[in-house]
A and B are shown apart, each in its own frame.
Chain A
Amino acid sequence: MEKYVKLVDRTLLLTGEWTVEHFNEIRKELENFKNFSFEYVDASRIEKLDFYGAYLIDRYLSRYSIHNLPEKYKKLIELVKTSPQVHPPKRNFIDNLIDAIYRKILDFYEFFVFTGLVFYESVRHIRSLELRNLVKELDEAGPKAIGIITVLTFLIGVVIAYQSSAQLAAFGANIFIVDLVSISITRELSPLIVGIVMAGRSASSYTAEVGLMKVSEEIDLMRTLGISPYASIVLPKLLSSVLLFPFLITYGDVIGIAGGMLVSQFTLGISPEQFLRRLGEVLYPDHFWAGVIKGPIFGGTIALIGTYEGFKVEKKAESIGFSVTRSVVKAIFSIIFLDALFSVLYRWLNI
């Protein structure tokens, strides 16, 4: 039964509450009367009208003059008449593709500009570097990361030794386990593990921290106060990473080799004394330095990528999330890519 629209003697009678709650019901009733003919629309029985009701009157009954509409509601009908025609900007596939490629290239370029600026401004504003900030960053990236690095490098040492001990035993080359474990850990695995762990830990937190400061306009505030955000935010993070990584890698070396030593004793019967003696003979300082030297490069890259992505955060809720993800993915990729570069370089230099 109709509740809102009634036809009485060629008069369309509008009744009840013409509000957003009843929008669909009213519209259904109006649809029913679309093909009817009537001469007169009487709105005197409307109890309540809002923009949604007014919208329906305008869209369905604008051909008729509405009688007895209370004065205050006339304004509403006037206000809903203006539905401006605007259309979203259209884009095609090719445009989007070109745009995406262009943005990738631009991103790469901007990263190098950013790196240049960080170095330039850090040198100029080196005095504004606060020891307090540096200590805070060192604490955050160092001691708090030790736990996970211990566990991972130890396990890697164990796994390497365990996996290779069977093969070596088959050739009677038991003692070579020391060469294998120590060289692979110091040159490759410890730097890689430290790099990847820190890419996940530091890059993400740098991005989130800088990103929030960007969104809350703290970066702009710094700039207007003549404080260089690069020198005061990026530099402590960069320095702390560059300084810490060699130590973390060295630490990883020790723990990893210890893991290998432990396994060697059980699977191949090599006593710790034998292991350490052999270690002194085969692990040249070159091997150790070849690994440690990667540290500052990896650390610097992670700090720069993390903060760079932070500076690119936009004022949208999902933006920080995207940026953090991007920064971790980029950082891990960069670590592995740089590690490969080092291998090529060492090969070439015969180290």
Chain B
Amino acid sequence: MAEYLIIVENLVSRYGEKIVHKGLNLKIKKGELYAIVGESGSGKTTLLRELLLLRPIDGGRIIFNGKDITKLSPGELEELKKRIGVMFQFGTMFSSLSVGENLVYVIRKRYKIDKHTAVEMAKIKLTLVGLKPHVFYMYPHELSGGMRKKASLAMAIATDPDVVFLDEPTSGLDPISAEEFDKLVRTLVDSTGMTIVQITHDLASLLFTDRVAVLSEGKVVYEGEPKGMVNTQNPWLRKLVSTLRFRRLILGK
């Protein structure tokens, strides 16, 4: 049991009449790079919002570190949130703070770290994600889309959390940056042991991931190594597998 960081059991969620998840199951191991793929509108972002407790669930359970997240005490919840980093789909940051201040703010809100160290660490993280040092003093609205994504990744990993959720991190990045991004995510998982869960439409990113969950029709229709996706019967997945992109990238044909 302890091997799994997150277990989602029979998750049901709906917006009014519309059912998004119809009994969804998945398990994310500690220290792995896990990807979630699926059609646009299949409920990936919704799942993420539920994992982050930003949205109540309509059925099933979400177990984090062996505990049902709906049954945590406020104190436990606070501790849990401290150990989570998130990058939202559109690279959300605090618009009234500079990029550097955003990172410093997160670090100092969460831990008693002195200003000097927080600033140093913010600069280290910005360099790590491939941003130029002067970005530290820029404001989010002054960044390009790709820079914004990088900056918000830096913010997500500012405090070295145990688990980081990334919603479409490589969309809107140029191919070189996208690959650097994938490698960086891999490095983070390998060298700090953090768990990274990324939602993605970028098949090339799957080359770097340990395991992948495929969402279709409100369920997880495949969970396992990316290569294993070929051996399934699910119609959407079969379509995906037969795309040129998939065959070239994942199967190398």
Contacts and interface: CB of A to CB of B under 8 A. Distances in A.
Nearest to B187: A75
A316 B117 contact: no
Contacts of A51: 121, 124-125, 160, 192
A317 B96 contact: yes
Given A51-B121, A55-B117, A316-B96, A86 B137 contact: yes
- Chain A interface residue bracket vs B: 20 to 34
A87 B239 CA distance: 52
A55 B121 contact: yes
B124 A83 contact: yes
A130 interface: no
A19 B160 contact: yes
A95 to B, nearest CB: 17
A316 B141 contact: yes
Contacts of A55: 117, 120-121, 124
Contacts of A80: 124
Identify whether the interface residues of B are mostly helix, strand, loop, or mixed.
helix
Contact of A20 (B111, B125, B128, B136): B111
Interface in A77-97: 79-80, 82-86, 88-89
A21 interface: yes
B123 A84 contact: yes
Contacts of B95: 315-317, 319
Contacts of A76: 191-192
A73 B192 CA distance: 7
A147 B72 CA distance: 50
Nearest to B139: A316
Contacts of A89: 137
Interface string A7-21: 000000000000111
A73 B159 CA distance: 17
Contacts of B187: 75
Interface in B141-173: 141, 159-160
Contacts of A314: 141
A87 B199 CA distance: 36
Given A20-B113, A55-B117, A75-B187, A50 B123 contact: no
Interface string B37-77: 00000000000000000000000000000000000000000
A86 B136 contact: yes
A47 B127 CA distance: 26
Nearest to B140: A315
B253 interface: no
A83 B137 contact: no
B133 interface: yes
A52 B160 contact: yes
Given A51-B124, A55-B120, A86-B136, A73 B141 contact: no
A23 interface: yes
B191 A72 contact: yes
Most chain B beta-carbon neighbours within 10 Å: one of A24, A48, A52, A82: A52
A317 B94 contact: yes
12 contacts: A20-B113, A21-B111, A23-B111, A23-B117, A52-B113, A52-B160, A82-B124, A86-B123, A86-B133, A86-B134, A88-B137, A315-B95
Interface of A: 19-21, 23-24, 48-52, 55, 72-73, 75-76, 79-80, 82-86, 88-89, 314-319
Given A51-B160, A317-B94, 18 more contacts: A19-B160, A20-B159, A50-B160, A52-B113, A55-B120, A72-B190, A73-B191, A75-B191, A76-B192, A82-B124, A84-B123, A84-B133, A86-B123, A89-B137, A315-B140, A316-B141, A317-B96, A319-B95
8 closest A-B pairs by beta carbon, nearest first, are A315-B141, A50-B160, A84-B133, A86-B133, A316-B95, A75-B191, A317-B96, A316-B96
